[in-house]
Chain A
Amino acid sequence: MDDELISFNNVNKTFGKKVILDSINLSIPEGKITGIIGASGEGKTTILKLIVDFYKPTSGQVSYSKRSISKDIGNIKNLFGFATEDGSFHDQLTVYENIFHFGRLHHVPRKELGERIDEILKIVGLENAKNTLARNLSMGMKKRLDVAISWIHNPKILIMDEPTADLDPLLRSHMLDLIRKINRQGTTIILTTQLLGEMDKVCDKIAILFDKSIVESGTPSEIKNKYDSKELDDVFNKIFSQERKN
Chain B
Amino acid sequence: MKSLMTIISKNIRVISRSKLSTSLILLAPILIVFLVGTAFSSDSLHNLKLGVYSGSYNELSETIISDLGSKQFVSEKLNSEEECVNAVKEAAIHACVIFPGDLSVSGNSESIVIYADNSRINLAYTIINEINLRISVKGSELGVVMAQSLLDAIQEARLALPLSKTEVDSSISNVDNIYSRSKGVYVDVSSIQSSINSSLSEIEDTLGDNSSSALDADIASVRAKLAELGDVKNDVGVINATSKETSEKLASVSESLDVLIDRIATISVSNAQDIVLPIKTEIKPVTKDSTNWKYLFPTLVALITLLSSMVLSSSMVFAERKAKSHFRNFMTPTSDFSFVLGTYVTCLLVIGLQLLVLFSGTVYLTSISISGVVGQLLLVLFLAASSFIFIGMIVGYIFKSDETTVLASISISSLLIFFSNVILPTEIINSSLKYLAIYNPFYLTDVLLRKVILFGSPLASLSEQIFILVGSIVVLFVFTVISRKMTKRSL
Q: Do A and B come from one complex?
A: yes
Residues on A lying within 8 angstroms of B by beta carbon are 52, 54-56, 74, 77-78, 80-82, 84, 86-93, 97, 101-102, 104-107, 133, 149-150
Decide: A78 and B333 in contact? CB cutoff 8 A.
Answer: yes
Q: Which residues of A contact B328 (CB under 8 A)?
A: 82, 84, 88-89, 102, 149
Write the nearest CB–CB distance from B377 to chain A, whole angstroms.
Answer: 33
Residues on B lying within 8 angstroms of A by beta carbon are 2-3, 6-7, 10, 13-14, 17-18, 323-334, 489
Write the nearest CB–CB distance from A153 to chain B, whole angstroms.
Answer: 9
Write the nearest CB–CB distance from A203 to chain B, whole angstroms.
Answer: 23
Q: Which residues of B contact A90 (CB under 8 A)?
A: 10, 14, 323-325
Q: Which residues of B contact A91 (CB under 8 A)?
A: 323-324
A102 to B327, CA, bound (A): 12
Write the nearest CB–CB distance from B10 to chain A, whole angstroms.
Answer: 5
Q: Across the interface, name the chain B residue whose C-beta is closest to A98.
A: B325
Q: Which residues of A contact B333 (CB under 8 A)?
A: 74, 77-78, 105-107
Most chain A CB within a 10 A radius of its CB, from B14, B17, B323, B325: B325
Decide: A104 and B2 in contact? CB cutoff 8 A.
Answer: yes
> Chain B contact residues: over half helix, strand or loop, or mixed?
helix
The verdict on A82 contacting B10 (CB below 8 Å), with A77-B333, A92-B17, A107-B333 known, is no
Decide: B13 and A102 in contact? CB cutoff 8 A.
Answer: no
A91 to B3, CA, bound (A): 20
Given A104-B2, A105-B6, 9 more pairs with CB closer than 8 A: A82-B327, A82-B328, A88-B327, A89-B325, A91-B323, A93-B10, A97-B13, A101-B6, A107-B3
Write the nearest CB–CB distance from A245 to chain B, whole angstroms.
Answer: 37
Decide: A89 and B324 in contact? CB cutoff 8 A.
Answer: yes
Q: Which residues of A contact B324 (CB under 8 A)?
A: 84, 86-91
A215 to B59, CA, bound (A): 105
Q: Across the interface, name the chain B residue whose C-beta is closest to A80.
A: B331
A150 to B17, CA, bound (A): 24
Q: Across the interface, name the chain A residue whose C-beta is closest to B15.
A: A92
A41 to B367, CA, bound (A): 66
Write the nearest CB–CB distance from A45 to chain B, whole angstroms.
Answer: 11
Q: Across the interface, name the chain A residue whose C-beta is closest to B335.
A: A74
Decide: A92 and B18 in contact? CB cutoff 8 A.
Answer: yes
Decide: B325 and A105 in contact? CB cutoff 8 A.
Answer: no
Q: Which residues of B contact A81 (CB under 8 A)?
A: 331
A80 to B326, CA, bound (A): 16
Q: Which residues of B contact A86 (CB under 8 A)?
A: 324
A174 to B157, CA, bound (A): 122
Q: Across the interface, name the chain B residue whose C-beta is closest to A75.
A: B333
A23 to B2, CA, bound (A): 42
Instruction: List 19 A–B pairs whose Cβ atoms lie within 8 Å, in order of A's numbering.
Output: A54-B489, A78-B333, A82-B327, A86-B324, A87-B324, A88-B324, A88-B325, A88-B327, A90-B324, A91-B324, A92-B13, A92-B17, A101-B6, A104-B2, A105-B3, A105-B6, A107-B333, A149-B328, A150-B331
Q: Across the interface, name the chain B residue whose C-beta is closest to A142.
A: B324
Q: Across the interface, name the chain B residue whose C-beta is closest to A109.
A: B2
Q: Across the interface, name the chain A residue whose C-beta is closest to B17.
A: A92
A133 to B381, CA, bound (A): 36
Q: Across the interface, name the chain B residue whose C-beta is closest to A100.
A: B6
